[in-house]
Amino acid sequence: MKVILCEDNDILRKTLSFFLESKGFRVSQFSNGREAINSIQENNYDMILTDINMPGCSGMEITEYVRNTLKKQTPIIIFTSLNGEQTELESFNIGANEFIAKPVSPLVLLVRMNKLFNQQ
């Protein structure tokens, strides 16, 4: 499975990437939302993992772009340190499949990813 991980926190991005690669995923990492969108345009990913707050463009913008411009149904998991029901609701309204509040547990992320893969 090929996933894209969009996260500007270097430690979290590298930790999640290392964990997912140890579970057999091929991970493309980006710390800039604009660069992530460019990669999504050029590659077919099985899943998109994105933080909301990122330089270049936000995880919300990435999600909207994938759903509305590319018309893809690639599973998307959004994670953020922003607390609040409104942020979570907005994530689902724009097309995210899952929402995880930070700090992100690699094991919880894996469970949610597998759940989404099994639904396809």
Q: What percent of the chain has pLDDT over 90?
A: 85
Residue ranges of the domains in the chain? 2-114
Q: What is the mean pLDDT of residues 55-64?
A: 95
Decide which of 3.40.50.150, 3.40.190.10, 1.10.3210.10, 3.40.50.2300 is the CATH code for 2-114.
3.40.50.2300
Residues 6+ apart with CB under 8 A from 105: none
Mean pLDDT across the chain: 94
pTM: 0.94
Q: For residue 48, give the amino acid letter.
A: I
pLDDT in tens, 42-51: 999 999 999 9
Q: Which of 50, 38, 49, 47 has its CA nearest to residue 73?
A: 47
